A and B are shown apart, each in its own frame.
Chain A
């Protein structure tokens, strides 16, 4: 009798309905409206499109010929690689080291995770001060070692490095925590058996830890790639309008620039569609490459 309550699924539907309505109104409706908007003429933000573009697909032709789109795609690809190597890679190394220490592991977990709780905009402002040309922390620090010339960390030569370093730094802790959790799930007995067989620490990591972490790392890589496509706030705070010389645009920042600054709203919508398509393709590719294994 007691189990009968679980047979009636109708109340469950009732509970699912509010979230479904919420998602429909605030995600799926704007999503499909955005696709429609990318074919329309929208004069300014806040004004709905009343006429079709001529030709209706003109924004997509512009996408293919726009130099800034290619810059944004190239930078986003670099950001994706930096994210995988810099965020997941560093997080893995840190997690392996913390896993091998007996004291202070909790302290390191907290310290590495902390940047996640700080808002990206605040971090952008913080790093702006660090990389400031005149009276910036880094330039002052270098001056202590006798460097006389100021370095413009935001010029064409350094801009991508200056933009990607804080993004990378911010999320290392996130993947660190996921990987540490994965490490905790590996049985100590396996390590003990390997040690008895004469495996060195490095061999234990290579032949035991990494294979057993495979699924966790796959999840991290998928999250990192999709995260890299969405990154916006920190780069925009530090490099608005793609400065310098429109060389630092990412797909997200370029879409914002076109929609909110240039006020070419319909073109901004087309860029949003591009981001979605790119996201779907990249996540499929990543899923195909980093397939999870059943053990």
Chain B
């Protein structure tokens, strides 16, 4: 019996010990990480004595480990560029980047916000500069460009300050932008040719667009590739832009009955009219965005409203191996073009939507760590330098003071067409949906099928969204 007791005790102790060891592993790890930082700091302090902090941080560069989170991952067209250039920075400085990038979807946004909330934010973050960043800016967890310049006057000095977007929280600039985005209308010219429709240009009007849609429909094709039940975002934004101006587009109306509010209602009615005319796919209310995109790529639909990132999506769809550029079917790609979104009222078709919606933040956590401050500043400066920004920006805008010439020989046909389209653009305005987020969007975004089918009145839907917006902001 004694023996069995001993065995039982040993087993129990072993189990408890192993559990404690599991739990302790992390704490030991974190403690050790903490101790390393502390010991680095101590060493630093010993080396520099009580000299200025700047000197202290500068000496910390080399051998510093930076945690960096970006959206350059997955299918992002710049994922490879990002990897190439952060590795180049590592080689040049001797520092190390712990890359935790992920695709910019809702899960990613939640992860970033939660990381800030729980104190496990990265050192450098490439993230959106609109309402998505409000929570961590309100909590003072990132450092403004102004504060960084107080110590590093050259920080982001290659950028035009007027083009660096400011926070919605305090009107200060926090994120150093890299590549801008634009939204426009992609065209499958094969469908246009089959329907006898000319390629639209900078003077494209809504009436011409409706006439073209009818011709395309009569020829047996779907005029517009869009999944209104899934992603109505682009049509929502441009339809509203057609009833606002470049000056007041970013103003959220007080109610559905004021001037801008009436514009929003008219915009919903425009989309409804297109739906009723049968210009969207038959299954637009039940399809997912990738289904309607496939229709466009396969030559079954003529027009697609989307963003600059879709250039890479279309190019990938023209490759037999989406990951291998050498498999590009150039003849297939030549059938795609990009143009301006048809205009209504006073708006010019060449007035585009877009802007610099993301940028590099330096977190307070990294800034307050003498071992990391200089490395974080150096990393962001490197990734936003005059040499690297154009590689990321390609056909999109940047905030550089002196943007270098773009080498067209490095681009595919659709990228060159995009460049030409952008060259003729008369203005770029931000998107109001970046300000109109969360629950307030539901009645007109997720509720778009109800609006176009007449189950909900456009005025009621717009007013409901505005009521939610003003009750939560």
Contact = CB atoms under 8 A, between A and B. Distances in A.
Interface of A: 1-2, 4-5, 11, 14-15, 18, 43-48, 132-134, 150, 152, 154-155, 159, 240-241, 243-246, 260-264
A152 B12 contact: no
B113 interface: yes
10 closest Cβ pairs, A-B complex: A46-B114, A154-B286, A46-B113, A244-B286, A244-B285, A133-B283, A152-B283, A243-B229, A45-B110, A263-B438
Contacts of B455: 245
A241 to B, nearest CB: 6
A133 B113 contact: no
A133 B1 contact: no
Interface in B1-53: 1, 4-5, 8-9, 12, 15-16, 19
Chain B binding surface, main DSSP class: helix
A47 B135 CA distance: 8
B106 A134 contact: no
20 contacts: A1-B1, A15-B12, A44-B135, A45-B110, A45-B114, A46-B111, A46-B116, A133-B282, A133-B283, A133-B286, A150-B282, A152-B282, A154-B283, A240-B230, A241-B229, A243-B285, A245-B229, A246-B449, A260-B110, A261-B446
Interface string B432-460: 00000011001000100110010100000
A245 B453 contact: yes
Given A1-B1, A44-B135, A47-B117, A133 B291 contact: yes
B416 interface: no
Contacts of B453: 245
A11 B16 CA distance: 11
Contact of B1 (A4, A11, A154, A261): A4
Contact of A159 (B286, B288, B291, B295): B286
A232 B5 CA distance: 48
A152 B117 contact: no
Contacts of A263: 438-439
B287 interface: yes
Contacts, number: 95
B291 A261 contact: no
B300 interface: yes
A2 B286 contact: no
A48 B1 contact: no
**Chain B: interface residue count, which band?**
35 or more
Interface string B119-151: 000000000000000010000000000000000
Contacts of A5: 1, 4-5, 8
Interface string B229-244: 1100000000000000
B291 A241 contact: no
A264 B437 CA distance: 11
Contacts of B294: 134
Contacts of B287: 133, 154
Given A15-B12, A44-B135, A264 B285 contact: no
A263 B468 CA distance: 13
A260 B106 CA distance: 8
Given A2-B1, A134-B300, A260-B106, A240 B288 contact: yes
Contacts of B439: 262-264
A244 B452 CA distance: 12
A260 B472 CA distance: 17
B230 A241 contact: yes
Contacts of B282: 133, 150, 152
B165 to A, nearest CB: 20
B286 A44 contact: no
B285 A44 contact: no
Given A14-B12, A241-B230, A46 B117 contact: yes
A218 B472 CA distance: 48
Q: Which of B106, B282, B283 has the most CB of A within 10 A?
A: B283
Contacts of A46: 110-111, 113-117, 135
A48 B230 contact: no
Nearest to A150: B282
Contacts of B283: 133-134, 152, 154-155
Residue picked from A2, A48, A133, A150, most chain B C-beta under 10 Å: A133
Given A11-B12, A262-B442, A43 B135 contact: yes
A43 B288 CA distance: 28
Contacts of A260: 106, 110
A2 B455 CA distance: 77
Contacts of A134: 283, 291, 294-295, 300
Given A14-B16, A245-B449, 4 more contacts: A46-B110, A133-B282, A154-B286, A243-B229
A154 B285 CA distance: 9
A114 B439 CA distance: 41
B288 to A, nearest CB: 7
A240 B288 CA distance: 9
A48 B229 contact: no
A18 B12 CA distance: 11
Contact of A15 (B15, B106, B111, B300): B15
A5 B8 CA distance: 9
B181 to A, nearest CB: 22
A5 to B, nearest CB: 5
Interface string B280-315: 011101111001001100001000000000000000
